[in-house]
Amino acid sequence: MPPRKQPFTTGTYIGLIGKLIYLIALFLPWYSLVVSVDSGDYATHGWVELVHIDGMRGVQINKLLTGGAIPGSLAFLPVPVSWLLLCVFIWSIISIFGARTARARGWKLVRGGIIIIIVFIVLYALISQLPAIIPDNAPNALRSLLDYIVTFPFGGDTTQVFGTYGTVHMRWGLQAGGFMLLVSAVVQLIGGFMEIGSGPKGGPAPPGGQWN
């Protein structure tokens, strides 16, 4: 007779809420970097997005950073990750509902939270490499601004004056999807550890089978 399936606990439902938050975050922007340059060869005539990262279009970088003209399209390094992330989401839901014990479900939720943390580590690595992808003949003003962003990668704004370029405004940071990913990771970890803690600690097996 197959082992009896342990019913869902509060930790399960908390973890599933975290999964739902993760799903919503896939369709929202995670990170953005915008700039406004008053004059010169790189004049933008308003705000222009240099970096855009989300779960649907992946990583997109304006051609300005790679030697193109303004306003360049966000077409460099397009990494479509939506299908991969959706597959991960679907597989995780199936595995959670298929797990027979709270402990097994708990570790699956913890793993989901850790995966999101790894995503943020990769995001930080991408941001830290921005100064390296611009061409050697890029203006020193742009290079110094990118170096400043690397110092405060997840949020900030600055306004500086650079000679013929006039006033340069720049804003960057996590967007709604990025914050929701962080919330999802925390909620999944909380739900996962609650599940693990609710599992049997030994003693007689329940009628009809043993916990696995």
pLDDT digits (tens, 9 = 90+) for 67-92: 544 444 444 444 556 677 788 889 99
Dist. CA 5–CA 36, nearest whole Å: 58
Out of 29-38, 157-166, 170-179, give the one with best mean pLDDT: 170-179
Q: What percent of the chain has pLDDT over 90?
A: 30
Residue 160: predicted pLDDT: 79
DSSP character at residue 50: E
What's the first-to-final CA gap in the chain, in angstroms?
13
Return the minimum-mean-pLDDT range out of 2-11, 88-97, 148-157, 189-198: 2-11
Single pTM value for the model? 0.77
Domain range annotation of the chain: 16-198
Dist. CA 199–CA 180, nearest whole Å: 29
Cα distances from 208 to residues 5, 19, 103, 202, 205, in angstroms, run 10, 31, 19, 16, 8
